[in-house]
Amino acid sequence: MTELPAALLQTDENQLARLHTRLVADAAASGLLDIAYRTVDSPVGSLLVAASDRGLMKVAFEVQDHDAVLAALAEKVSPRILRAPGRLDPVARQLEEYFAGTRRSFDLELDWSLSSGFRRQVLDHLMRIGYGRTESYAEVAAGAGNPKAVRAVGTACATNPLVLVVPCHRVVRSDGSAGGYAGGVQAKATLLELEAAA
Amino acid sequence: MKQPFEQIVAAHGPAVLRVCRAMLGVQDAEDAWSETFVAALRAYPELAADANVEAWLVTIAHRKAIDVGRANTRRPMAVAEPPEPPPVAVDDDQVWAAVRDLPDRQREAVAYHWFAGLPYAEIAVITGGNADAVRRAAADGLKTLRRVYGATPTTKGARS
């Protein structure tokens, strides 16, 4: 075993934090920051939010595994991904207002590149379901232009890349029960109660 | 499959900073670190999936350190400090100064092997020469550091 003076192996966390901030700024200035992300605390657990320079691209629950979500973004979109909290401050603020009951709709630029085809049509329709309201999967299928595609609506909701912002939690079963949810059944119940109470 | 670049920074940022500091001193290390990671971020999508990321980063840092070092030799220096005799009580800055005082080959070998954990053969690819020469340079450099400052509080080094 070879021994080095401990001074040579110490890490100054403050210095590294400062360098990280500088890297984010340099990367953005050079057009190299393809995806910026941060996490936001919420009553339904930690939320991962990720954005390209076109807008918010991904919102994910803790139960969806943030590391796995980032790995998937690296694979599908670009590995040029950095934690850059400042660039997502408006998103964090609007989510906090939503959970505080003081915001009923989101005013954010969105990057839709993670969804296409009929799924995208479904998400477009979901954007028109107002705060505190719900629709059945069959109603959404009809609204998205294909009344027979009830199962595909379920898939579109389950793979919604922009949970909360695109309100798939407002889609419930025709018998009135909540149905499944990417964030878990409990999270869906919490969101529906929040919107019913406000 | 390629991991998000954030994980590269988290995993290798500290070691690359130690390498930059060994090569350039505390003042210029931050510039070299920043330039290294911006260059790495630019090239990252093209990096082979099975590449040795640490060796790749040290290769970039090595070039950046040479660039920054060259720029500095052209820059007029402020007041040169007179050399001081080795003090009895050694502080962190003095240990780093001892690293800076090593001959280039020894400093590179010590930094890349002991700070960044690269095998001698990988270092030889970056600096030129062969693995045995790098091994000797690392050993000689370490011997000098020990002679000047002793092997005070210790941390286990990298793999051989």
- For chain A, the residues whose C-beta falls within 8 A of a C-beta of chain B are 1-11, 15-16, 18-20, 22-23, 26-27, 30, 32, 35, 37, 70-71, 73-75, 78-83
Query: What's the CATH code of the domain at A85?
Result: 3.30.160
Q: Tell me, yes or no, whether A95 and A127 share the same domain.
A: no
In which band, very low, low, confident or very high, does the pLDDT at A2 lie, cut at 50, 70 and 90?
A: low
Q: According to the CATH classification, is domain B5-74 in 1.10.1740.10?
A: yes
Is residue A130 situated within a structural domain?
A: yes
Q: Tell me, yes or no, whether A84 and A19 share the same domain.
A: yes
CB contact under 8 A, B145 and A6: no
Cβ-based burial of A101 (10 A; exposed 0-12, middle 13-18, buried ≥19): exposed
Q: How far apart are CA A53 and CA A44, in angstroms?
A: 27
Across the range A86-94, mean pLDDT stands at 96
- Reading the block at residue B17, the tokens are 């900073």
Interface test with A, best of B7, B12, B41 (most A CBs within 10 A): B41
Which pLDDT value is given to residue A23? Answer: 98
Across the range A26-39, mean pLDDT stands at 97
For residue A22, pLDDT beyond 90? yes
Q: How far apart are CA A195 and CA A191, in angstroms?
A: 6
B78-94 in b/e form (b: 16+ CB < 10 A) is eeeeeeeeeeeebeeeb
Q: How far apart are CA B37 and CA A27, in angstroms?
A: 9
Residues in chain A: 198
Which pLDDT value is given to residue B71? Answer: 74
Q: How far apart are CA B148 and CA B90, in angstroms?
A: 10
Q: How far apart are CA A51 and CA A34, in angstroms?
A: 8
CATH number of B92-149: 1.10.10.10
Residue B112 DSSP one-character state: I
Which pLDDT value is given to residue A164? Answer: 98
Q: Tell me, yes or no, whether A18 and A93 share the same domain.
A: yes
User: What value of ipTM does the predicted structure carry?
Assistant: 0.91
Q: How far apart are CA B96 and CA B78, in angstroms?
A: 20
* Residue matched to tokens 């803790």: A62
Which pLDDT value is given to residue B90? Answer: 57
CA distance B56 to chain A (A): 16
**Per-residue confidence of chain B (160 residues) as pLDDT tens digits?**
789 999 999 999 999 999 999 998 888 899 999 999 999 999 999 999 899 999 999 999 999 988 887 776 655 544 455 455 444 455 677 788 889 899 999 999 999 998 899 999 999 999 999 999 999 999 999 998 888 776 443 444 444 4
What are the structural domain ranges in chain B? Answer: 5-74, 92-149
Residues of A in contact with B142 (CB under 8 A): 2, 4
Its domain, for residue A189, covers: 117-197
Is-catalytic flag, A157? Answer: no
